[in-house]
Structure 1
Amino acid sequence: MGSVQIALDRELRIFTPIGTLGYGFSEEVYWSTMAEGVDAVILDSGSTDSGPAKLALGISTGTRKAYERDLGILVAGCHIYRKPLLIGWCFLSSNHLLENGPNIYAGSAGGDGSTRGVELFIGIIREIIAEKGYRPMKVLSIDAQIDKGLVRYQHSKGLVRPCGKAVPELQAQDIDDASIIVAQMGIEPWLKAMSEQPDFDIIVGGRSYDPSPYAAYCLFRGITSDLAIPYHMGKIMECGALCAVPKSREALAIVRQDSFDIRALDDQSRCTAVSVAAHTLYEKTRPDILTGPGGNLHLENTTYEELPDQKTVRVRGATFVPVKPGEYTVKLEAGRKSGFHSMFIGGFTDAILISQIDDFLARGTAYVKANLPYEFDIDWRIYGKDGTRTYGQLNRSPPWSFVPPEIGICCHVRASTQDEATNAAHMARIFCAHGPYRNQRATAGNFAMPFAPLDIPLGATSDFCIYHTMIVNDPSEHFPIHVANIHGENTAPTTPPEEVAGKRSSGSPTKGLLQGSETGKSVLSGLREPAPGHVFLADLAEVIRSKNAGPYELTFDVMFPNAQMANKVKDAGILTPSTIANLYDMSEDDVIACMWWDPAFAFKATIKRPIVSGGFFERDTYGSTQHMPLMLLEVPVGLKNGLNGVKI
């Protein structure tokens, strides 16, 4: 690559204030950590987690105000400490090479990593420097938006392939429909930008593989003995201190040639060997092999050592296996507009109607279709179908002598125009308010409508159309680098704000919330009882969670408190592809991964999503609330004598 590299004679200290730029972080922790000394600040700024709207409609993950707040603090640190800042999918830095200060890096600017997102961040940074009177800064940007013509050509040559078993083959129409296409860059464009402009202050990167800014910076600074070290560090650090217990925001990595340390910076959080090992379960198809541009990161032989400070874990042993020559791929992502949508929400309290709600809503759909001449999709979303406790009805406060059941209804409609979608929603709401039903007694109206406007237009809707890998000849050729020398008056103070300088975080708001169940009681107590000789999986595991592993897959993590418990459940032989398929009503062929991950005392399963994330009929875009079937899984454990006396 012809890279300019700096000989490293010490450890690198890399600071991540938050897993996603725009989500907010502690100023106290930020300024204290900067004062203690770091080489770089690195943050992520994007994801496909929140669906296809960013790519399809040109909107950002966060608000401009949120980006302004976080970037304001980060650029202030760049001005004061002249330290590099790396923000995942955007990259900020200062004259570290000349003045021995850290740089700032960031990538996937704006959430989707498009040119629009990159330019948004550059504009905000330019405004901050001018408004605050900061010193002049050299700002680099790396574009990741890909020309459709290139994708069409590569597709015609058979060089574009689905990214995973759950993704369908790419069609020519998918390319035509895409609003824009971005490619997920590896380390090479980042390293090229640093090498060609070693006096940079800030780098704003387009769509990037999450650890790319971290790994590229480490290589640039001389961590060259083993690419697996910076890659593995980056895969953990890009989420901040999500790997801590309890999870928190700010994290520090200390990197050397043969190992790295991960440290939680919140006073109330700590990293443990299990919590750090478990992080490679999060949002991944499988935890042992992580695929990215240029190769696979293998974690089967990784070790995790808890250090005496009881906050830091030292990690060793990963290996990086590069792809064969001519097989380097980048992942393409794109979304398309798929119409317009509108909605309304409200509730039913009549028990007679609730008892026949499925039939009532089916007749509502038929009513709307009979009255409208155009095509539309309608999705009824029922919340609290079994009845929930209601408060505040008729301005009365609990307790009441009688509390009626209430269910919530969200009606979601999609059509080819906004007017058509809103009109269809309007007709559906009229049916909810006045439609008849068997044994009806209340004739003044069925539907409680809490908000106005009653029929709510939502604008354009979208779905994913490209999530594929494309073979490229040169890992950097499709990611142009731009240089902007931004003028600054250099009149701002060069000391941190007095009100936060030297202070630490007041603690995590989650402290005290992550406690186990009461002795002898199930965490699901009151819901139902398991069969004799069985225990709910929720009462054996410490963590049971679901999450997207990209927009086409849903992944589940079950983590146990120790190896003994994990091995007992493993020996029970109940966590199998067949069990997962039955729990989630699918074919075993759609169970993509089903395995145990011993370093984290954990079980992992990944399935094909029944509906692609963010699609019209989707009800959980992030995929984070699909864990209940696993929690209620009954595990045969023998004699149960209270939860703390489970004999297995």
Structure 2
Amino acid sequence: MSPPRKKEELKILTPVGMLGYGFDEFLFWDAVKDGADAIIVDCGSTDSGPSKLALDATTISRESWERDLDILLASCHKYKVPVILGSAGGDGANVHVQLFVDIIHELITAKGYRTMNIVTIEAEIEKGFIYEKHEAGQVLPCSAAVPEITAHDIKTASKVVAQMGMEPFIHAMEKYGDFDIIVAGRAYDPSPYAAFCVYNGFTDMGIAYHMGKIMECGGLCAKPKSRESLAIIREDSFDILPLNPGARCTPTSIAAHTLYEKTRPDILLGPGGALHLADAKYEQLPDNRTVRVRGSKFVPSKEGEYTVKLEGARAAGYRSVFIGGFRDPILIGQLSSFLSKVEEHVRSKIPFDYDLRLHEYGNKGIMGSLEPERDYTPKEICLCGEARAATQAEASHVINTARIACLHAPYAGQLATAGNFAMPFPPYDIPLGQVSEFCIYHIVTSVDPLALFPIQQKVILGSNEYTEVADMKDIVPPTTKTSSQNGVSPPLSPMKFHPPAPQGHCYLGEVASVLRTKNAGPYELTLDVMFDNEEIFHKVKQTGLLSKDTIARLYNIPKEDILVCMFWDPALAFKSTIKRPLVSGQFGETDLHGSQQHAPAMYLMLPFARQ
């Protein structure tokens, strides 16, 4: 079927950065009725760990997907706006693509929607293909933080998916031009956006991919961050508008978004090429809420050198945990030696192989080896015990032995003899099932961009009896008071730092507008520091303090573990990316998203006073 007649501009609506998180129905219907050409939503990430791939688990409830999909189907039913979903189910495995199709089928039947054409694109990869590529030397680590792949990694992976580029989406649209919904497996997040642009005749790949990179997170690029956003694409530019009336995009907030979850902000590698942003320009439009972007460039891979990323995970034993706390200052003052004795006691009682971790939340519990502050004595400690063994029963035996030792073991100077450990709720020893871990996060080279991704169409018959689409009159419009991503107002005043900075100095956290850490994939952790004020940005930059030496000191790591350390002037930002001390989600994890590693940088002392 031939592609649609080219328009002067396209409107793409993304109601939320992750399907299942919920969005504002008033804003959604307002945008749909105003003429959205497509609704595109990302559904997946490696952020929530390896369990989805390894164990077919989901981190969003089926009920949440049903709620969001029902609204999308209602818009598709009445306005015939196409819906494109990438990375179905979170990991994009075939079982979760089918889960989405099942939910859509049930909703069409139950609600009486019209007959719809559902196109699926699967992304699971046969292990035989990976073995062949591995033997040919064509499976390479994604970065210096990722180890070389082994035959054991391939063999033990529960399943492997590949991140598809735009080509399978374009092929699906061309083959089934009357599609209503595309449900795709694992996809490079901007791919469905770029594909829809190309399919509709907007072939500047720099524009298409850059727009997709920003839009796949919904309104996260706005200030304050929100959920819903709209892209307007033209031949040589695109506009980004947050739909929440209390949010706005700025040139800095849009430029800064390419830092998010990425190793570096200026060159973004993806299937079939790289997006180069050094020459991108950002213009604030007169409404003071919309930003226009132009000048982005996409450099395609050489012919025959197309690459895709593989993601694989495996089961790695069984886990049981306990949760409780210490409040006795006598015990907390000698906690390190006390917990060492607990571990010794467990070793003396357990005859089989196991792993045990005792995470001291309130004292290095979150940051672990990255924690620079070693002499801090807290008033309370939350202790999370974690045991892994070959069976669930063995893991529970280990954690039970450790918990009882925490509760009743003696310590020097003890006054409180009734018990050492505050336990909030039974059951005290909690079985969590199988542990999982990533084992494949690699690039496979010289591949056919279509051959790995089977495409099928399924026509789901509907009665077409549904007539009631939500009337905006019955939905309360959002206000500027609930403009953040989760409907919670941003803080009214900045944090007061304690202790205060000496006279003539200030902390980095006092002058930065954003200071965050986040996973950049399962093997890397990235720090972003951004500024609203250009003068302050250059002042900080000129101090020379944001450097590899400082990052190594702040995070207790050798400089060779720092993969990127750079300023990004278009966003008034600094970025540093380091190797993760633990691969995201594996046994011993304390901060799955990597989002609570920023505090050491907040207290970096700067040699000037806050203005």
> TM-score, length-normalised on structure 2?
0.95
Residue matched to 2:70 = 72
Check conservation: 2:97, 2:185, Cα contact below 8 A: yes
Residue matched to 2:129 = 150
CA distance in 2, matches of 1:512, 1:338: 41
Residue matched to 1:40 = 38
CA distance in 1, matches of 2:581, 2:550: 17
Q: Report % sequence identity.
A: 53
CA distance in 1, matches of 2:361, 2:145: 29
Residue matched to 2:170 = 191
Check conservation: 2:25, 2:475, Cα contact below 8 A: no
Moved more, 459-468 or 376-385: 376-385
Shift of 1:474: 1.4
- 1:330-384 per-residue CA deviation (whole Å, 9 max, x = no partner) reads 1000111111101111112222111111111110011011001011111111123
Matched, 1:584 2:555: yes
CA distance in 2, matches of 1:500, 1:426: 57
Matched, 1:628 2:599: yes
After TM superposition, list the pairs within 5 Å mapping 1:420-431 onto structure 2. 420-431=394-405
Matched, 1:408 2:385: no
The amino acid of 2:74's aligned partner reads A
Shift of 1:496: 2.3
Residue matched to 1:365 = 343
- 1:421-449 per-residue CA deviation (whole Å, 9 max, x = no partner) reads 01111001110111011111222221111
Specify which of 461, 470, 480 is matched with residue 487 of structure 1: 461
- 1:549-596 per-residue CA deviation (whole Å, 9 max, x = no partner) reads 001110011111222111111111111111111211112111111111
Q: Which runs of 5+ in 1 are unaligned?
A: 85-103, 388-403, 518-522
Matched, 1:160 2:158: no
Check conservation: 1:31, 1:501, Cα contact below 8 A: no
- 1:166-214 per-residue CA deviation (whole Å, 9 max, x = no partner) reads 1000010000110000000000000000001111111100000001100
Residue matched to 1:601 = 572
CA distance in 1, matches of 2:18, 2:141: 27
Give secondary structure in 1 for the equivalent of 2:322. strand
After TM superposition, list the pairs within 5 Å mapping 1:229-378 onto structure 2. 229-378=207-356
The amino acid of 2:501's aligned partner reads P
The amino acid of 2:96's aligned partner reads G
Check conservation: 2:14, 2:215, Cα contact below 8 A: yes
Which structure 1 residue ranges, 4+ long, deviate > 4 Å from structure 2? Answer: 499-503
CA distance in 2, matches of 1:275, 1:264: 12
CA distance in 2, matches of 1:386, 1:467: 28
The RMSD of aligned alpha carbons is 1.6
Check conservation: 1:141, 1:203, Cα contact below 8 A: yes
Give secondary structure in 1 for the equivalent of 2:565. strand
Check conservation: 1:32, 1:504, Cα contact below 8 A: no
Check conservation: 1:215, 1:227, Cα contact below 8 A: yes
Check conservation: 2:115, 2:464, Cα contact below 8 A: yes
Check conservation: 1:32, 1:502, Cα contact below 8 A: no
The amino acid of 1:298's aligned partner reads H
Specify which of 168, 176, 186 is matched with residue 207 of structure 1: 186
Check conservation: 2:320, 2:395, Cα contact below 8 A: yes
CA distance in 1, matches of 2:332, 2:447: 61
Check conservation: 1:133, 1:492, Cα contact below 8 A: yes
Specify which of 444, 469, 483 is matched with residue 496 of structure 1: 469
State the aligned residue count.
595
CA distance in 1, matches of 2:475, 2:422: 53
Q: Which runs of 5+ in 2 are unaligned?
A: 366-377
CA distance in 1, matches of 2:410, 2:539: 55
Residue matched to 1:393 = none
CA distance in 1, matches of 2:491, 2:242: 17
Moved more, 437-446 or 369-378: 437-446
Give secondary structure in 2 for the equivalent of 1:181. strand
After TM superposition, list the pairs within 5 Å mapping 1:452-531 onto structure 2. 452-493=426-467, 496-498=469-471, 504-507=477-480, 508-510=482-484, 513-515=490-492, 517=494, 523-525=495-497, 527-531=498-502
Give secondary structure in 1 for the equivalent of 2:74. helix
Specify which of 418, 441, 460 is matched with residue 444 of structure 1: 418
CA distance in 1, matches of 2:386, 2:489: 38
CA distance in 1, matches of 2:397, 2:168: 49
Shift of 1:405: 3.6
Residue matched to 1:29 = 27
Matched, 1:19 2:17: yes
